[in-house]
Chains A and B, each alone.
Chain A
Amino acid sequence: MLRRAIGKFIRHPGGMVGLGLFLALVCIAVFAPAIAPYDPLRVDPIAALTPPSAEHWMGTDTLGRDVMSRVIHGTRISLRLGVISVSIGLSLGVLIGVLAGYLGGRVDGILMRFIDMLLAFPSLILALVAVFALGPGLTNAMIAVGISAIPAFARITRGEVLSAKENLYVQSAQALGGSEVTIMVRHILPNIIAPNIVMGALMTGTAILAGAALSFLGLGAQSPTPEWGLMLSQGRGFMSLAWWLTFFPGLGIMLTVMAMNLLGDGLRDVLDPRIR
């Protein structure tokens, strides 16, 4: 079955483009110190606001720092932010979803009203509230974005659990006297992984965008961290004077989010049983 899924994914052009872009970004992130031509924090006031040139391919910023080196190092931060915050959202969301779906009754009622409450707020507003409570900073931004991703994972998991619960193999496990934890972990969890992987890929793009938005608002990464959202924010007063300050970090965000969305779409087409 896995081989068939891989085969199907390989024939999915959008998914392959997304995967290719994603792998390229991962390589850039891993080898950033080797690829970046300069130290991303090196200040050189004399070279401030140099347009793109042979020496500085993406120009320099107001402090003379090399924009290309900062964009390359920014890939690390953005991918890390995306992966960590989605991991937070996924693990807590799946936990809530499995408990609510499997146990049902009052537990389901309480947990799902809590999720409904979180869903009532747009995810960026939720992240803003969380970061206000936790204080600005990259780590807190990751937690905040992670919290804002919980409802999506919880709802999808609960739905899958509700349908999995009706399967014969679960009912047999129950009849054989398996403990609820064992049933949840061994029988239910493996069956709800696929939709969560798809959701995780799609949410990574959203999370990167939300993290950049928080940094843009001054609530995420702090200076002098080479974070794309922060670079956009600092460059926005120079749009007419130095376009390269916003263009390249913007391009970075766009490509990463596009990669994650294409990858997520591809995975959905391959893994979603309704489409399959």
Chain B
Amino acid sequence: MRIARPLQAALLGALLVVSALAGTAAAQNTGGELVFGVNREADMLDLHVGSSRYDLVPAAQIYDTLLFLTEDGEFLPWLAEEVTFNDDATEYTIRLRPGVTFHDGTPLDAEALKFNFDRIVDPATMSAKAAGEMGPYNRTEVIDELTVVVHFDASYPGFLAAISDWRSGGPHSPSAIQADPDGFRFAPVGTGPFRFVEWVQGNRIVLERNPDYAWPRPGTQNDGPAYLDRVVFRTIAEDGSRVVSLRNREIDGLLRLPPQELAGFEGNQDFVVTRATLPGSGVLLIVNAGKAPTNDLAFRQALLHVVSPDQISRVGYFGAWPPHRGSVLSESNPDFVDVSDMFPFDPERAEQLLDEGGWVMGADGVRVKDGNRAELVYIGFPSPETTRTMELIQALVGPLGIRIQITELESGAIHAARQAGDHHIAHLTFIYTDSHFLRTLFHSENIGRGWNFIHKVDEDLDALLEAVQIEADMERRAELAERIQRHMLEQGYVLPTVYQHTINVFGAHVNDVESYPVYGEAPYFYDTWLD
């Protein structure tokens, strides 16, 4: 058994940060209410069950995590005082920090942690995402009041990342869940700096300060209860209205500034802009290799030569979201590799590939091969940025004799259509930090029922994805991840566009808003105070 080394070094670092900043804490104003405008309401706040990224925005204040993952890829102790694992990463020993209680007074102990892990993987929970993060979980063994050993059926190096995420690593109160399992979705109880007060569906979620809070996240300035009395998450779906509400001071901050508005806020002294590139896939266009005409490799590679991330960033996102330089991992993922030199923007090369591949230009300006016309169906969400992107791509591929029909659907319909393979090109974004998650998205076992929208069985790819999930040696893992990234592009399974980027804006009277360096979308209001 060995200790996760970064943990020790980081613990020391975190202690230094906390002690250095402890003296400044007295200057902060306490009290007040912060109203934060969000573009979409959370689906639910039971993170064991739900999967929406918008759940995390309020949830990040309600739940703490066992470990805290820094931008440098270090895992720092938080609710877990220490995490150690055996050489083949099949057993993890977690020692909890003493004295932590849930908002309902239930202590966070070994039994509570076991309850959480067992509930996540229980099929009855119907977990949409957290269960995937638990990998080949077998069982949790309670050693003493504050210590558990988590057993896996196979090597699972991704567990450290999993317990740094709120879904599987943010303990939910067992007593509250047992009292009302379904009601918990809309009345969550965690250990975080703010506790749940009310949820007015379609309008607002209200949280208030947890007065007993004394287990701060590493690197924060505060070390007791939060400064703000209350935090209100108000849903304002319309981008323009959210921006106007901020300018009129009806709200104190907003999530997801539309990219075209960035120029008006950056450099404006009345506002503070925070930006972060999210980990995960970035904004990808997944190519269906299971049906004509995109089942043709030359055709897919030709698309890669014209779908230019630089142009998409500039036109679709006004340069505010950076162009994707990788294939299926973002710049902020630890195993990211820059593969932008593999398929540079080159329409002439695209034309050559199509000509050589037997795609003959028809009289109506559409290429044809073996009776298959180069007409593609795109399926995606109705978002102004992706619509602009697709309209740009339509214009770029048009002269090559390729037509694209844009179809925009709501989330339920889009997922069914992608699973059924109705598309040639489908929109996909997914947030994850660890490369083991690539299996969930691209393994052929997930065709038709999961997230694989390539619709082609590729045994080489499957083998690589299985290997990366269980490889405990970090260097070897990185090598495998690089091979996957190159393979995905070589085969033209994905058309990378931009990194997922989040731009949040606050009035200048709002101080010390932190964002999670890795899960950058959710602001963290523990240190925040108002002028």
Contacts and interface: CB of A to CB of B under 8 A. Distances in A.
B295 to A, nearest CB: 25
A237 B406 contact: no
20 contacts: A42-B395, A43-B395, A45-B311, A45-B315, A45-B392, A62-B260, A62-B315, A62-B388, A63-B315, A63-B388, A63-B392, A63-B395, A218-B382, A218-B408, A222-B406, A222-B408, A223-B387, A223-B391, A241-B261, A241-B264
Contacts of A218: 382, 408
A77 B57 CA distance: 42
Contacts of A238: 260
A136 B409 CA distance: 9
B407 A43 contact: no
A236 B387 CA distance: 14
Contacts of A240: 240, 243, 264
A236 B407 contact: no
Interface string B405-417: 1111100000000
A87 interface: no
Given A48-B315, A237-B240, A238-B260, A224 B391 contact: yes
B430 to A, nearest CB: 23
B384 A237 contact: yes
Interface in B371-393: 382, 384, 387-388, 390-392
Contacts of A43: 391-392, 395
Contacts of A139: none
Interface residues of A, number: 19
Nearest to B261: A241
Contact of B407 (A41, A222, A241): A222
Interface residues of B, number: 24
A197 to B, nearest CB: 37
Contacts of B243: 240
Contacts of A234: 384, 387
Given A48-B315, A236-B240, A237-B240, A41 B387 contact: no
A236 to B, nearest CB: 6
Contacts of B392: 43, 45, 63
Interface centre among B314, B390, B395, B406 (most CB of A within 10 A): B395
A68 to B, nearest CB: 18
Dominant SS among interface residues on chain B: helix
Contacts of A239: 240
Interface in B30-87: none
A218 B381 CA distance: 10
B107 interface: no
A76 to B, nearest CB: 19
Interface string A197-225: 00000000000000000000010001110
B405 A222 contact: yes
B258 interface: yes
A63 B391 contact: yes
Interface string A76-89: 00000000000000
A41 B394 CA distance: 10
Interface centre among A45, A62, A234, A236 (most CB of B within 10 A): A62
Given A136-B408, A224-B395, 6 more contacts: A45-B392, A136-B407, A222-B408, A223-B391, A237-B260, A241-B261
B260 A223 contact: no
B406 A223 contact: yes
A154 to B, nearest CB: 32
Nearest to A238: B260
Contacts of A48: 315
Interface string A222-263: 111000000000101111110000000000000000000000
B237 to A, nearest CB: 12
A99 B64 CA distance: 69
Interface string A19-59: 00000000000000000000001110100100000000000
A53 to B, nearest CB: 20
A45 B312 CA distance: 10
B239 interface: yes
Nearest to A137: B407
B390 A223 contact: yes
Contacts of B388: 62-63
B318 to A, nearest CB: 8
Given A63-B315, A223-B390, A41 B258 contact: no
A241 B405 CA distance: 29
Interface string B309-333: 0010011000000000000000000
A62 to B, nearest CB: 6
A222 B258 CA distance: 22
Nearest to A236: B240
Contacts of B406: 222-224
Contacts of A237: 239-240, 258, 260, 384
A62 B391 CA distance: 10
Nearest to A48: B315
B383 to A, nearest CB: 10
Contacts of B240: 236-237, 239-240
A62 B385 CA distance: 10
A87 to B, nearest CB: 26
B385 to A, nearest CB: 10
Nearest to B387: A223
B243 to A, nearest CB: 8
Contacts of B239: 237
A242 to B, nearest CB: 9
Nearest to A235: B384
B381 to A, nearest CB: 10
A26 B80 CA distance: 73
Nearest to A225: B406
Interface in B391-434: 391-392, 394-395, 405-409
Interface string B246-287: 000000000000101100100000000000000000000000
A49 to B, nearest CB: 9
Given A222-B408, A237-B384, A239-B240, A41 B395 contact: yes
Contacts of B405: 222
A224 B394 contact: yes
